[in-house]
Amino acid sequence: MGILTLDTRFPRIPGDVGNACTYDFPVRFKKIEGARGPRIISSERGTDRTLVEPFLDAAKELEAEGVRAITTTCGFLSIFQEEMSLAVGVPVFTSALLQAPMVSRMIGGKRAVGIVTANSQALNDEHLRGAGIDRSKMRIVVAGMEDAEEFPRAFLHDSGGLNVGKVEMETVEVCRKLVTSHREIGAVVFECTNLSPYSKAVQDEIGLPVFDFVSLANLLYYSVVRKEFKGFM
């Protein structure tokens, strides 16, 4: 799998999209120079669309290098989903949010999908539409990590350090408050790829299905690299 990474400094721990140990299969990383967090996640300016060409060029390079599928390291890049999927001949998923419509069908239309994002003020309808989320056809409730302390410092401001334990506690608390305030939520989807390391802690706390970048990466990879089943028993 080819992974297009943002130009960041923060540590990539196991479970994070940018750590090769996260995967049970080979990955190839390619950094998009200049694709800094504020250009992707901005409540004032929106996602910088001038970045689409560098992402398209890098996706084509990965395809030429032989990857079987391509993804990115930020769920806000769902706005590039159409362009990127048309630019190459291998499957592309730009955002873990692509799982939300499927999850909604799985839990039933009377229940809501809880979406936890890096910044709820920056996640707009364009990002949702890019992931195939139609508010008129499915129920979603969005919560953001922007009001926490360690998460914004480490990831949104890219400070270069990371207090893993504190981010885990913040993530669990945001999710706990989300499902407590909205009892109609039947499952949670993490937009942010940096939240995947904390999926188990969240699931243990809220007792609901948790979908993240890793769950979608595994689905995509095993759809393009199947194993042979042998034997009769």
Query: What pLDDT is attached to residue 202?
Result: 98
Pairing of strands 2-5, 112-117: unpaired
Tokens of 193: 């790829």
Query: What pLDDT is attached to residue 109?
Result: 86
Burial class (CB in 10 A: 0-12, 13-18, 19+), 29: middle
pLDDT digits (tens, 9 = 90+) for 204-230: 999 999 999 999 999 999 999 998 898
Report which of 75, 107, 77, 96 is spatially closest to residue 179, judged by C-alpha positions.
107
Kindly state the helix (H) or strand (E) to which residue 3 belongs, with its residue range. strand 2-5
Query: What pLDDT is attached to residue 169?
Result: 98
CB burial of 91-122 (b: ≥16 within 10 Å; e: otherwise) equals ebbbbbbbbbbebbeebeeebbbbbbbbbbeb
Collapse the DSSP code of 136 into the 3-class scheme (helix H, G, I; strand E, B; otherwise coil) and give the result: coil
Query: What pLDDT is attached to residue 207?
Result: 98
Catalogue all structural domains in the chain, each as residue range(s) with its CATH number: 2-95+218-224 (3.40.50.1860), 96-212 (3.40.50.1860)
The residue ranges of the chain whose pLDDT is under 50 are none
pLDDT digits (tens, 9 = 90+) for 92-110: 999 999 999 999 999 998 9
Query: What pLDDT is attached to residue 160?
Result: 85
